[in-house]
Amino acid sequence: MAIITSPRPGVKRFIGVDFDFGALRTAGPRYWAFVVMLLIGLGLGGLAWANAMMHGGVVMAMRDAYPWGLWFVNYMYFVGLAAGGLVVYASVQLFGAEQYRPLSRLAVLLAGVFVLMALLGIITDMERPWRAVWMLLTPNPTSPFIYTGSAANLYMFVCFFDLWLLITHKGGDKWAFRMTLIALPLAIYLHTTTAFVLSMNKSRELWNTAMMVPIFLTSATASGIAVLLIAAYIFKHFGILELSAKMFRSLSTLLATVIIIDLFFLLVEILTVFWPTSAKPGHAMRFAEFFTGDYAFAFVPVLVLGITAFTLLAGRKTRHLPAIQITASALYIVAVFMKRYSLMSMGFAVNPLGTHASPYAPSLTETLIALGIVSLGMLIVTVSAKVLPLVETSHAPE
């Protein structure tokens, strides 16, 4: 479809969406300084990826003991962050939670961008990414990666298509409702199959538990809601969205509820591993590494930060305070990232033969690639904040 100029100066209409490029010309120096910083991060990531393409896996910290590294930690993390936006958007369409409607477009945008970042992590880990076509031509139906990878691609497309429907009002509320009925089961499928990548490895004892799926789902939802809450405050601060204190109170209450469920599932798994009548020597020996061993630095903060975040949100008199909401959200975002690192490490800390491995730390190349991907995601959201109409309106399509 050809691009045509809409009536307002600086606005270009494409596929039914009014892109306000004129807003970029009026952006202040702080905005452009932030954009330049993100472009530098993106450039460093591109150079690091080029270095990995030229020299192969030798520039990565991944070895035989750790065939997966930061890219897989980030894949689990970013896929999980996408859950929060979908939960909030689905609450509006399916359960009539109108207090979240002003967040609908931002929530769907963030969900799509987070899945894009997760997929880019997989692509940049491939030493020969163009060979990925063979996975499509000769898929292995017994590999969970086939299901989670295809689900991530489809979910990203659904998120961006959903955002287009919200902006253009094509089909009205009827189509928005139908897309939610598609997106919600697909999101559950995506997060479940991602957890299956871990839980269906019977040779990795701490992964091989049915609790992996619910733990992954709850931590994904909690971290996603936490990121959305912080993003909402940022968008409100810069006058992009008008959001009420009632909406933030409701969102923080939802976050506290999901956090306590997530902590409960994790504590149930820990109790099962160490309870005298249910403990298995392999499980207990491996899990001890994450309490008193070399990996305690990653796992103990998950519990400390998680309990602290819930404690901050549990008080009815303080839960409505923006500082409390933002602090609790930030704490749990960090806690879930450390949990994702711990989940990855639980399979490799002690191999099936009982050999211990030193904790994995990403190389500079891996870190810069991750920085580039994060910078790209933030750049998309930053530009979208200026260019896209993210304010939810109720008027019917023309």
Sheet with strand 4-5: strands edge to edge: 4-5, 11-14, 17-20
What six digits make up the tokens of 95? 């359960």
- Contact (Cβ atoms closer than 8 angstroms) between residue 306 and residue 262: yes
- Distance of CA 304 to CAs 315, 328, 336, 343, Å? 18, 12, 12, 17
Q: Is residue 53 part of a domain?
A: no
Q: What is the pLDDT of residue 5?
A: 45
Q: Is residue 255 part of a domain?
A: yes
pLDDT tens, 81-93? 988 888 888 888 7
User: What is the rounded CA–CA span in Å between residue 87 and residue 218?
Assistant: 11
Q: Is residue 27 part of a domain?
A: no
Q: What is the pLDDT of residue 379?
A: 96
CATH of the domain at 183: 1.20.1630.10
Mean pLDDT, residues 277-283 taken together: 83
- The full DSSP string for 251-271 is HHHHHHHHHHHHHHHHHHHHH
Q: What is the pLDDT of residue 6?
A: 46
Indicate the number of domains in the chain: 1
Given pLDDT bands bounded at 50, 70 and 90, which one contains residue 210?
Answer: confident
Q: Is residue 390 part of a domain?
A: no
Examine the pLDDT at 230 and tell me if it is beyond 80: yes
Tell which wins on pLDDT, 294 or 16: 294
- Contact (Cβ atoms closer than 8 angstroms) between residue 41 and residue 27: no
Q: Is residue 387 part of a domain?
A: no
Q: Is residue 159 part of a domain?
A: yes
Average predicted confidence (pLDDT) for the chain = 87
| pTM (2 d.p.) | 0.90
Q: Is residue 90 part of a domain?
A: yes
Examine the pLDDT at 8 and tell me if it is beyond 70: no
pLDDT tens, 91-148? 887 777 788 888 889 999 999 999 999 999 888 888 778 877 787 788 888 887 888 8
Mean pLDDT, residues 265-292 taken together: 89
Q: Is residue 11 part of a domain?
A: no
Mean pLDDT, residues 144-172 taken together: 86
Tell which wins on pLDDT, 253 or 12: 253
- What is residue 350's DSSP assignment? B
pLDDT tens, 45-70? 999 999 998 888 888 888 878 888 89
Mean pLDDT, residues 321-347 taken together: 94
Structural domain range at position 70: 61-362
What is the DSSP pairing of strand 4-5 with strand 11-14?
antiparallel
